[in-house]
Chains A and B, each alone.
Chain A
Amino acid sequence: MSLYDELAAAVRADRAVALATVIDGPGTGAKLLLASGVAPVGSLGDPDLDRVVARDVEGELAAGITRVRRYGPHGEARRDDVSVFIESFVPPPRMLIFGAVDFTAALVRVAKVLGYRVTVCDARPVFATRARFPFADEVVVDWPNRLLDKVGPELTPRDAVCVLTHDAKFDVPAIVGALATRVGYLGVMGSRRTRADRDARLVEVGVREADLARVHAPIGLDLGARTPEETAVSICAEIIAVHTGRRDVRPLGDTDGPIHQQGAG
């Protein structure tokens, strides 16, 4: 099995792997494939360099970072004899959508375009069906807090939780459960008045004000969206803005400065 085949198999299986390639210096083209808990495949041409790169990759891979690092010929720091391109392949980000409503079907479609692995969850078996959400990776009939108990520990800052249930008896446990995770985006659908009522209930069950600030509600950017599809775009636009750290989203035509920010995405 070639190195490429090993890499392709790992990426397809959604295993986190990193491919290190010498792109400048002695041994240009040499490669080392690294995954946590698995023996490395290949070599960069020097055992010490392999060892140092393997150590550095652990951090890059956990954060999903892809970048060039420079070393001495034997992995020495603060040298630039060898440039190593470390490419991290991490599983696709996840989106959990609570509430199997019309808006959900549109949100699933837009989230799939953006590369999310999408789970739809609703406690009502008549609504949470595969037939209604053919594009979802997973449709789960369960209470939000039970699903979050199970998958919450796996959620990362790259992931998103969207609560579209419109019903306090589902919303509150879903939000409380999501706030207990490291999820990077938590949005909740509902009117501004609903939000005020819900915030009061959340505080009653012990949610702190600081945690309430993590909740994006009403969900989405103010695009003037009306249809489920338009709303899905507004939700996904907000998720992108949150991930890239844009707080005050405006048309590019009204702003100055670089369009593509370094380190974003």
Chain B
Amino acid sequence: MRELLNDLDRWRRQGKRVAIARVVDIEGSGPRAPGAAMAVSEDGQVTGSVSGGCVEGAVVEAALAALDSGERAVHSFGYSDDDAFAVGLPCGGTIHLYVERLDW
């Protein structure tokens, strides 16, 4: 989250609502370690990254949804046995992200 601080501070100063997605766990092969984070402002600006670019689009959707609903939850992206996930990591791993409003 360290590299996001400047953007987060600016958005908060501007009174924008912000959601943050943090990598909390990885199964198999994943490009970014736990702690990698990205944040999305209510007007759709993005900072940071949580993978090599494979799931960022889906994470933006999840973050904007969390801004609206206030839901705080773990979202998982990648391949599962039943291919239940629409968005996959080409490296064949599963990435678990905790997504919430930055209202704390």
B46 at interface, CB cutoff 8 A = no
A168 at interface, CB cutoff 8 A = no
Contact yes or no, B34 A67, CB < 8 A: yes
Give bound CA distance, A2 to B18, whole Å: 15
Contact yes or no, A260 B72, CB < 8 A: no
Give bound CA distance, A22 to B35, whole Å: 15
Contacts of A3 in B (CB 8 A): 104
Contacts of B63 in A (CB 8 A): none
Contacts of A66 in B (CB 8 A): 33-35
B54 at interface, CB cutoff 8 A = no
Give bound CA distance, A124 to B2, whole Å: 36
Contact yes or no, B104 A4, CB < 8 A: yes
Contacts of A89 in B (CB 8 A): 1-2
Contact yes or no, A87 B22, CB < 8 A: yes
Contact yes or no, B2 A260, CB < 8 A: no
Contacts of B5 in A (CB 8 A): 8, 11-12
B65 at interface, CB cutoff 8 A = no
User: How many residues of chain A have a CB within 8 Å of chain B?
Assistant: 27
Q: Nearest Cβ in chain A — how far from B52, in angstroms?
A: 9
A28 at interface, CB cutoff 8 A = yes
Most buried by A among B26, B29, B31, B35: B35
Given contacts A2-B104, A11-B5, A31-B104, are A87 and B35 in contact (CB under 8 A)? yes
Contact yes or no, A11 B1, CB < 8 A: yes
B93 at interface, CB cutoff 8 A = yes
Contact yes or no, A258 B29, CB < 8 A: yes
Contact yes or no, B91 A259, CB < 8 A: yes
Q: Nearest Cβ in chain A — how far from B66, in angstroms?
A: 11
Residues 21-59 of chain B: 1 if any A CB is under 8 Å from the residue's CB, otherwise 0? Answer: 010111011110111000000000000000000000000
B87 at interface, CB cutoff 8 A = no
Q: Nearest Cβ in chain A — how far from B12, in angstroms?
A: 8
Give bound CA distance, A260 to B91, whole Å: 8
B residues in contact (CB < 8 Å) with A: 1-2, 5, 8-9, 12, 22, 24-26, 28-31, 33-35, 72-74, 91, 93, 98, 100, 102, 104
